[in-house]
């Protein structure tokens, strides 16, 4: 693939220990802890590097409880289903995996899901309807970015939604599967189909 570094950004989506087997009580994604090398390689192809993290509070309304299992629906404008508690600010699960830069070293960084009744997936909006920007789209446009390379966790949730939001905002989007891992095979396959259907390039590696 021919990439123009000057107009290309690299996006590390939610590459946090809470989505790896390092935090088995959270939302462990097999192989999630192995993504630093492919993400650093991806970033070397781009002029700007941006990233995101879930930064959840302990009192989140979407958390799994007795009789309220994972994936069961939860009512609210900006929540949908229940998840194990994960990526709580101030805990190990909130940290980026080893081998990535400190968040302060990124050109732009999104912390999302901070409100107890908001659980966004895509990193471009704080709400589920895509109304309240996190600012990353504006940042990329202001800096003349046209192409965004995307990797991270998890392919079937936050990576997919971030890629779709970027595409809808007018960027050329490339999802780099070597730098992603997903929660389940069926939802990863469906995510790849949906992203390709939206005009996103999904590649095995960069």
Q: How far is the CB of 206 from ligand VGL (least distance, A)?
A: 20
Distance CA 134, CA 123 (A): 7
DSSP 101: P
Cβ neighbours for 194, distance < 8 A, ≥ 6 positions apart = 160, 164
Closest distance between ligand VGL and the C-beta of residue 149, in Å?
18
Q: How far is the CB of 19 from ligand VGL (least distance, A)?
A: 6
Contact 125, 151 (CB under 8 A): no
Give the binding site for ligand VGL (CB under 6 A): 14, 19, 27, 54, 83, 153-154, 157-158
In the complex with ligand VGL, which residue's Cβ is closer, 8 or 82?
Answer: 82
Q: Which two tokens stand for residue 151?
A: 């990797």
CB of 152 to ligand VGL, least distance (A): 7
Nearer to ligand VGL, 83 or 125 (CB): 83
Measured from the CB atom, the residue of 49 and 112 that comes closer to ligand VGL is 112
Closer of 18 and 171 to ligand VGL (Cβ): 18
Beta carbon nearer to ligand VGL, 46 or 153: 153
List, in order, residues 6 or more apart from 45 with CB less than 8 Å away. 3, 5, 8, 10, 149, 206
Least distance from ligand VGL to the Cβ atom of residue 158, Å? 3
Q: In angstroms, how far is the first alpha carbon of the chain from the final one?
A: 8
Computed on alpha carbons and rounded to an integer, the radius of gyration of the chain in Å comes to 16
């Amino acid at each position: 693939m021919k990439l123009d570094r000057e107009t290309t950004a690299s996006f590390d989506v939610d590459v946090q220990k809470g989505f790896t087997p390092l935090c088995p009580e959270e939302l462990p994604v097999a192989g999630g802890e192995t993504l630093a090398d492919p993400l650093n390689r991806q970033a070397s192809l781009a002029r700007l590097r941006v990233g995101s993290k879930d930064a959840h509070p302990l009192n989140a309304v979407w958390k799994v409880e007795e009789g309220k299992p994972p994936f069961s629906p939860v009512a609210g404008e900006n929540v949908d289903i229940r998840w194990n508690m994960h990526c709580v600010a101030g805990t190990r699960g909130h940290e980026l995996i080893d081998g990535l830069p400190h968040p302060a070293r990124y050109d732009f960084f999104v912390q999302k899901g901070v409100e107890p009744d908001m659980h966004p997936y895509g990193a471009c909006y704080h709400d589920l309807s895509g109304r309240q920007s996190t600012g990353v789209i504006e940042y990329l446009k202001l800096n003349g970015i046209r192409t965004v390379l995307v990797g991270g966790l998890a392919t079937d949730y936050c990576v997919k939604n971030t890629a779709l939001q970027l595409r809808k905002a007018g960027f050329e989007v490339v999802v780099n599967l070597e730098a992603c891992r997903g929660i389940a095979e069926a939802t990863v396959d469906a995510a790849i189909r949906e992203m390709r259907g939206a005009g996103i390039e999904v590649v095995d590696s960069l």
